[in-house]
């Protein structure tokens, strides 16, 4: 946010945010924030990732905004992912955030186990369920055998009550931050 605030043309650029925390920070530095009615035209999405595999599939949603992130990415002309070198791995191994409707919690715990997962309700420090800005809850679900991430995403999204899955498969360019402060720019397929 601070770097964007220093751009000389920042007043001519409109920004959409996926969380109230980012929105507050953007407002503090004077960026022009627009609401979700502008989603029909998104030039570029800048985001991070929790994990990126060797085929550039990603796990995202550690911050709980996966549904909004997925909507913006689907509407974007270009997706840029910024991540440090530790986020790049051979295979995805982290639990996959799955945003669900709270009404479906019990049945989804069972269904995700049947699908080979080990779901765990995301909680806040005091042990209460972590509630997304959309009013939903997240089941962080580990899979001993994930298989094809694209197929797994489709499989999970067909379960009633699943609203979004933290498997992402679309980005145009990745900036891999190295320990020495430099970046490697990766453009899959080029």
- CB 15 within 8 Å of CB 28: no
Whether 153 is a known active-site residue: answer no
Burial degree of 19 (CB within 10 A; 0-12, 13-18, 19+): middle
Task: Give the angle subtended at the CA of 43 by the CAs of 39 and 49, to the nearest 5°.
Answer: 85
**CA atoms of 81 and 171, how far apart (whole Å):** 7
**CA atoms of 13 and 141, how far apart (whole Å):** 37
The one catalytic residue among 69, 99, 153, 164: 69
Residue 87 tokens, joined: 């986020």
| Bridge partners of residue 76, in order along the sequence | 42
Closest residue by Cα to residue 137 from 64, 78, 32: 64
Q: Which residues are catalytic?
A: 69
């Amino acid at each position: 946010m601070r770097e964007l605030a220093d751009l000389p043309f920042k007043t001519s650029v409109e920004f959409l945010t996926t969380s109230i925390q980012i929105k507050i920070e953007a407002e503090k530095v004077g960026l022009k924030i627009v609401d979700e009615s502008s989603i029909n035209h998104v030039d570029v999405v800048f985001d991070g990732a929790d994990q990126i595999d060797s085929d550039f599939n990603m796990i995202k949603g550690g911050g709980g905004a996966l549904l909004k992130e997925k909507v913006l990415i689907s509407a974007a002309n270009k997706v840029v992912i910024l991540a440090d070198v530790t986020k790049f791995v051979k295979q995805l191994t982290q639990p996959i955030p799955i945003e669900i409707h709270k009404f479906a919690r019990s049945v989804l715990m069972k269904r995700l186990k049947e699908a080979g997962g080990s779901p765990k309700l995301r909680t806040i420090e005091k042990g209460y369920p972590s509630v997304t800005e959309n009013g939903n809850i997240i089941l962080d679900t580990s899979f001993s055998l994930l298989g094809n991430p694209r197929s797994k995403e489709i499989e999970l999204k067909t379960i009633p009550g699943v609203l979004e899955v933290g498997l992402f498969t679309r980005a145009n360019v990745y900036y891999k931050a190295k320990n020495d402060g430099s970046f490697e720019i990766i453009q899959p397929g080029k």
